Structure 1
């Protein structure tokens, strides 16, 4: 058995997932990162995690596939000997009115963002239960607590992730395992930066206008959440002093859900 605790972060070659992986590696966890990309495409992410002293490895898996989550957890356990921390961060988005929402996109969003969390949790729990310790963190969203138009699949999925979180927390409450959801508002990631630029061109607006009037309109702080803020919360939830926090949906959203 690995003497160090081992963490798996899904969807972790950029943005929130990579930030969480970096923080856990800095704290001494061995870290498995993941995406559907080929290994050579994940090389830049791995490079950013070098020098931490952690054993960081990349595991390719398409979590839209039913067996993807089981295979991923199995490969991580085979490589490290155990899995102590599971962070379900993988997710995708599609924006369209529901009457125009392609059913294939609906199914893929649910498969990646919800079904994969069910499968990875189901695969990881026996080992955590046997060792009497585990941390499961599901990255949900402010959209798990509030709705927005044109995001039917994403909003439905994130609400469901919070329900899954609470249910598994109750089932594992006496097993030394905590299960929580983090609910970010709009987070400044490369993906969001690209969306801001696209929206600015499409609407003939400045990027500053797009950020304040479109993206940040729901967030009273009028500031993007930084990935490092999400990572710091995840790191705290992994610690022993967070042992009494379970079944929670923790908002980091600049006041969005306070309204």
Structure 2
């Protein structure tokens, strides 16, 4: 449910809805537009529950029911349509009018993402291509297109895990699968005592199966080849699980590096 003030709701309604219409969209074009931006069917009966079922009422119900981020994405996408509609109909709107609308969608988008830990997708070395890859993945999530970046996420994991293996002096070959690299890495950090709880250990071990299954997704359900692409919801689920594990690994590595540095510092009081 989007967290909107009364004034923000008024800005949305006054900007986009007129007598049940949404700008100059027809029923079909509005349905297609919303689906393209959010992957949601605005014709779902829940958006007409308790109202007339007009496009305007469906939009307002959508704003009421969906998350901040999803509503923000749709409002941002509608911004150009709003300007064009006002220009075509000679409706003079000053900068304050548009800025109020912009403020709403920027606040909503700034408050979240479809993937909670997408910020974890960062290169862990100085390779320029690796940094570009990570940037492209994050941009796909910002555009609400997780299914378009599954193959890139798989490539990211390969590079990320190889770098981790190198840092722990773990031998690996050029063509090892993501689950093989993950298995080698997890084996070493378990031996080093990086994982403290039994539950975390079980989660990490189960993640090996997720990495194994990711190979099939990459090969048969992504743009890596001429494939039918995995659906949106499952793509979000995969991204969420993978990025959560990457975030955990990053935090764990940072913690133990800091401990190693602290232990290596001389105790000047003993001299």
Is TM more than 0.5 here? no
Choose between structure 1 and 2 for higher RCO, CA contacts under 8 A separated by at least 6 residues.
1
Structure with max Cα Rg: 2
Question: TM (normalized to structure 1)?
Answer: 0.27
| Larger strand proportion of the pair | 1
